[in-house]
Amino acid sequence: MAFLADLTLGRYVPRDSPLHRLDPRLKLVGLPLFVIACFAGPSPVRLGGLSALALVLALLCRLEWRIWWRGLWVLRWLLLFSLLLHLFLSPGRTLFGFAWLSLDGLLRGLQVCWQLSLAVVFSSLLTLTTSPGHLAGGIASLLAPLQRFGLPAREWALLLGLVMQFIPILRDEALEVYRQQSGQPEEKPPLGLPARIRLFGGLVAPLMLRLVDRADALAQCMARGEAGLQGGAAIEALPRLPKGELFWFCASLAVLGALWMLG
């Protein structure tokens, strides 16, 4: 179950950093644009610029490098499978004289792995640096204009905030059930595929019961009007956008646009 502890998507790590203090509305708009940019223009120049930007943002959030490394290491089999799939099945120039190895496929596979890694980093930046309460508040603020058309924007934001809250809950509960069932606090699964299958199969029922209990407790807290999400109220009210943060956000978008023109 070590892979659950290494997941970065959906996990919030509190820090006092510029990226943590950045308005969540800007992060909700900007970081998904960077994820889209990873796949919209897959040229080496653009991916290199996005990699430099990802490195700068990762340094600004002041998180340990092990968090990023372990988050990418979890996806190693997906990246390896994508690389091999392109290597063996893509048409093009052969590699080392073997007809079943494609040089163009190898280059394309490396590019796809590069794109996926960047997308994971940008996606993780959003959840690692933003609490669920601020995420829900940012979503509610961005969806507020839809209320003029009678759409329940606030309820949608609350629902998305609850979903974001349950991602770390699922991870924590799975790790706790695993420790109780296996008696291994170091979170190392047993060796051998049959033993792992038996162990993971035995985790399903107790994990579902614990999640139902957590969901029931969360619903009761919300019914009483108490805080429903970790780190604050269910939806946190946000102030007006600071002009300084808005300036740097626009500057980042301008750099991204210039990078696309050069690529």
Identity of the amino acid at 54: A
Return the pLDDT at 3.
Answer: 47
Q: How many domains does the chain have?
A: 1
- The segments of the chain whose pLDDT lies below 50 read 1-3, 186, 229-233
What's the distance, Cα to Cα, between the start and end of the chain in Å? 41
Q: Give the pTM.
A: 0.74
In a domain, 209, yes or no: no
User: Whole-angstrom Cα distance, residue 154 to residue 252?
Assistant: 29
Give a yes or no: residue 214 inside a domain.
Answer: no
- Name the burial class of residue 109, with classes exposed (0-12), middle (13-18) and buried (19+) by CB atoms within 10 angstroms of its CB: buried
Domain assignment present for 173: no
User: Is 171 within the bounds of a domain?
Assistant: no
Does residue 62 form part of some domain?
yes
Give CA–CA dist 176/174, Å, rounded: 5
Q: Let me know if residue 130 belongs to a domain.
A: yes
How crowded is residue 110: how many other Cβ atoms within 10 Å of its Cβ? 15
Specify whether the CB–CB gap between 167 and 11 falls below 8 A: yes
Paired tokens of 21: 């203090």
d(CA 90, CA 82): 11
Judge whether 64 lies within some domain.
yes
The tokens for 229 are: 């999400």
Among 232, 112, 115, 245, smallest CA distance to 164 is for 232
pLDDT confidence of residue 231: 43
Q: Which amino acid is it at 105? A: G
* 18 within a domain of the structure (yes/no): yes
> What is the domain extent for residue 44?
2-166+241-262
